[in-house]
């Protein structure tokens, strides 16, 4: 069974009410990731033939999707090729997701992907987090999400201006206990977890590993 077939079976198990159009857009994103890997190295070339089961599946892990509230505004910081922000935007049209990415070639890939897959609840911001992106001119984000970056002190300081007063940081990382942080092992890989950092914890995030 190839990557796409395995992913479809996984989707049917975890999200049985998913519409065919949503499933097809997720599969289409997998194809764009493969093309982007050939041209731009979007993901590791060794993962080219398993982008759906390794990367998109992790981005849609129920441990993450169940912790994003209806209608939330989400910053995907260091979005790279759009993981996890693009799969989340496709699965959850109620979310408003801003992909924050400083590299021009990656931004071009993200913008092309959003256009081809017709994802209306997605926007792309070219720049670093320190450039203070906004999901809209009126709304602060409630979640800052990251899958593969290391947070720095300047980035954390900027969150005060970008997140609501009860805003959370959600990181992918090791499945180990962290004081004051909810750690949820991923169903897709129990050695990894999402870490849900409330404000009182993420203000110290710059020292976390």
The arithmetic mean of pLDDT across residues 28-51, rounded, is 84
Q: Which of 26-35, 93-102, 109-118, 136-145 has the lowest mean pLDDT?
A: 136-145
Return the domain boundaries, the chain. Answer: 57-207
The pTM for the full model equals 0.94
Q: Which of 34-48, 70-84, 127-141 has the lowest mean pLDDT?
A: 34-48
Class of domain 57-207: alpha beta
Alpha helices in the chain (DSSP H): 3-14, 20-40, 51, 57-59, 62-65, 85-91, 104-117, 153-162, 199-202
Tens digit of each residue's pLDDT (9 = 90 or more) over 52-72: 999 999 999 999 999 999 999
């Amino acid at each position: 069974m190839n990557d796409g077939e395995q992913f479809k079976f996984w989707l049917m198990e975890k999200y049985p009410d998913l519409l065919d159009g949503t499933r097809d857009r997720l599969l289409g994103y997998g194809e764009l990731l493969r093309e982007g890997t050939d041209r731009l190295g979007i993901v590791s070339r060794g993962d080219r033939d398993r982008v759906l089961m390794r990367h998109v599946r992790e981005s849609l892990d129920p441990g993450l999707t169940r912790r994003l509230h209806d209608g939330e505004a989400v910053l995907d910081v260091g979005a790279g090729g759009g993981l996890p922000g693009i799969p989340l935007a496709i699965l959850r049209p109620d979310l408003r997701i801003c992909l924050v990415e400083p590299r021009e070639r990656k931004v071009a890939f993200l913008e092309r992907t959003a256009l081809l897959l017709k994802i209306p609840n997605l926007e792309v911001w070219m720049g670093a987090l320190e450039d203070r992106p906004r999901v809209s001119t009126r709304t602060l984000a409630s979640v800052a999400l990251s899958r593969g970056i290391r947070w720095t002190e300047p980035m954390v300081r900027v969150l005060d201006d970008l997140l609501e007063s009860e805003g959370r940081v959600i990181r992918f990382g090791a499945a180990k206990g962290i004081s004051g942080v909810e750690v949820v092992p991923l169903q897709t890989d129990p050695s990894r977890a999402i870490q849900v950092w409330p404000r009182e914890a993420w203000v110290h995030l710059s020292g976390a590993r």
